[in-house]
């Protein structure tokens, strides 16, 4: 946890462009955006991967998705469409081991993903 980049963003040790914050969640602009809109949405609780989710985390996971929806509306990408990505473990490209959703929008996304 001490070496976790996202925990450092939560406690202000690393600056970020915050999009939303409450008691349980934080959303901020990705430092290396891969789309015109690229927001990272995280729980304040340090959970490393989706593999580590417990039953007690169901509420916060639902809050993350609801927040993604409202940020998509605020960013005016809800009508055209957006993509939510959660990379779990190295095979999926996870690089920061503090669970997070990527909210991506503002361009066309292809399927299957790369």
Nearest-CA neighbor of 83 among 107, 66, 58?
107
Span near ligand 5GP by CB under 6 A; candidates 42-50, 75-83, 91-99, 106-114? 91-99
47 binds, among ligand 5GP, Zn ion, none (CB under 5 to 8 A by kind): none
What part of residues 22-61 is at the interface with ligand 5GP (CB under 6 A)?
A: 28-32, 40
Centroid of chain to Cα 65: 9
Query: Token pair of 47, please?
Result: 């959970």
Structure tokens at 98: 């503090």
Question: What are the beta bridge partners of residue 105?
Answer: 37, 82
Residue 13 interacting entry, from ligand 5GP, Zn ion, none, C-beta within 5 to 8 Å by type: none
* Residue numbers annotated as active site: 100
Angle at 26 between CA 30 and CA 110, to 5 degrees: 40
By CB under 6 A, residue 14 contacts ligand 5GP = yes
Site residues for ligand 5GP per CB under 6 A? 5, 14, 16, 28-32, 40, 87, 93-96
């Amino acid at each position: 946890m001490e070496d976790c980049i996202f925990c450092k963003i939560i406690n202000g040790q690393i600056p970020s462009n915050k999009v939303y914050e409450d008691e349980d969640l934080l959303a901020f602009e990705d430092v290396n955006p891969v789309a015109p809109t690229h927001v990272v949405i995280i729980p304040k609780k340090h959970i490393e991967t989706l593999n580590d989710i417990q039953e007690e985390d169901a509420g916060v996971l639902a809050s993350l998705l609801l927040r993604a929806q409202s940020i998509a509306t605020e960013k005016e990408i809800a009508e055209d469409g957006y993509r939510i990505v959660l990379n779990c473990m190295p095979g999926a490209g996870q690089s920061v081991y503090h669970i997070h959703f990527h909210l991506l929008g503002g361009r066309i996304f292809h399927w299957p993903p790369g």
